[in-house]
Amino acid sequence: MKVIRAKSAGFCWGVERAIQVAREESQGGERTVYTDGPLIHNRQMMEALGKDDIREVGDYQSKGDLDIQDQSEKDSVLVVRAHGISPQRREYLKDLGLPFRDGTCPDVGIIAGKVKSHAEKGFNIVIFGDPEHPEVIGLLGYAKGQAHVISNEDDLTHLPDLGPDVAMVSQSTMFTHEFKHLSSLLASKYPKMLVFDTICGATKERQSDLVELVEGGADAIVVIGGKHSANTRKLAKLAASHNRPTFHIETADDLEAEKFSACKTVGVTAGASTPEFIIRSVCERLEQL
């Protein structure tokens, strides 16, 4: 069976940076690195990082208190994950007294800066995203209580009157066409609204490269990535919208050979948190079918 791999599959630069920060602080396992929630949304990669004593503590949304006292006999450091955190969470983490490194993706940092600066100017902020996602939870912390999260058209109808000054941003991993559609609808009510397309370049590349897989003749699409990964779930949803059998898997062991019996060509893509060793193993397994 022929396997076509998307050009942009695998780590984005923000994830690579977060991993580099954690590994630098680990010094090959000489120090214990604690991450506030999963550094990236990929269980297999977090297990691999564990070999360098990089440990996930806390919860998925970075809300709970951390109990890291006396967990390690080595020197320890606390690293903020790629999705970013609120200013309130940052203050809490720093008060724990451990050395502190920020692994927030710079693209997420830019979004936070726009939310903060416009909230300080009195704008009401509309965030297109998943209200339960840690990135959005972090962004809300910069809005001084002046932000509203929307995910669809129905959410627009439940917004209060936002007043004359409105700014709209997006979670970095959302669909571009959905953001354009919702921002256009909202702008019809608030003509002076400021719209910032903050969907990151890596997300846009993955979405466009997936379309190329379909146009390239893929009979089915395999999307590799963690089940909690927002951008991976978006890729799987986009693939399914093109009327192709779509399989969201985490590793090659999730592949079921009988489901590909009628396929001559399979397209493979992966979320921004998926390591190269997993993508390679999936492609090799598919080629053997």
Q: Give the model confidence (pLDDT) of 70-127 as tens digits.
A: 666 789 999 999 999 999 999 999 999 999 999 999 999 999 999 999 999 999 999 9
**Tell me, what's the pLDDT at 156?**
97
**Tell me, what's the pLDDT at 89?**
96
**Tell me, what's the pLDDT at 43?**
87
- Residue 244 vs residues 116, 171, 173, 239: alpha-carbon distances, Å: 41, 27, 22, 6
Mean per-residue pLDDT of the chain: 94
Distance CA 193, CA 179 (A): 14
Distance CA 114, CA 198 (A): 10
Annotated catalytic residues are: 135
Distance CA 265, CA 286 (A): 10
Is residue 142's pLDDT more than 90?
yes
**Tell me, what's the pLDDT at 228?**
82
Confidence of residue 230 (pLDDT cuts 50, 70, 90): confident
3-state secondary structure the chain: CEEEECCCCCCCHHHHHHHHHHHHHHCCCCCEEEEECCCCCCHHHHHHHHHHCEEEECCCCCCCCCCCCCCCCCCEEEEECCCCCCHHHHHHHHCCCCCEEECCCHHHHHHHHHHHHHHHCCCEEEEECCCCCHHHHHHHCCCCCCEEEECCHHHHHCCCCCCCCEEEEECCCCCHHHHHHHHHHHHHHCCCCEECCCCCHHHHHHHHHHHHHHHCCCCEEEEECCCCCHHHHHHHHHHHCCCCCEEEECCHHHCCHHHHCCCCEEEEEECCCCCHHHHHHHHHHHHHC
How many beta carbons lie within 10 A of that of residue 138, not counting itself?
Answer: 26
Q: Are 54 and 35 in contact (CB under 8 A)?
A: yes
**Domains defined along the chain, listed by start:** 2-10+201-288 (3.40.1010.20), 13-103 (3.40.50.11270), 107-195 (3.40.1010.20)
**Tell me, what's the pLDDT at 71?**
65
**Tell me, what's the pLDDT at 72?**
66
Q: Is the dihedral of CA 242, 247, 251, 257 positive or negative?
A: negative
- Side-chain half-sphere of 56: how many Cα atoms within 13 Å? 21
**Tell me, what's the pLDDT at 158?**
96
- Residue 54 vs residues 11, 78, 283: alpha-carbon distances, Å: 18, 10, 28
Q: Are 82 and 13 in contact (CB under 8 A)?
A: no
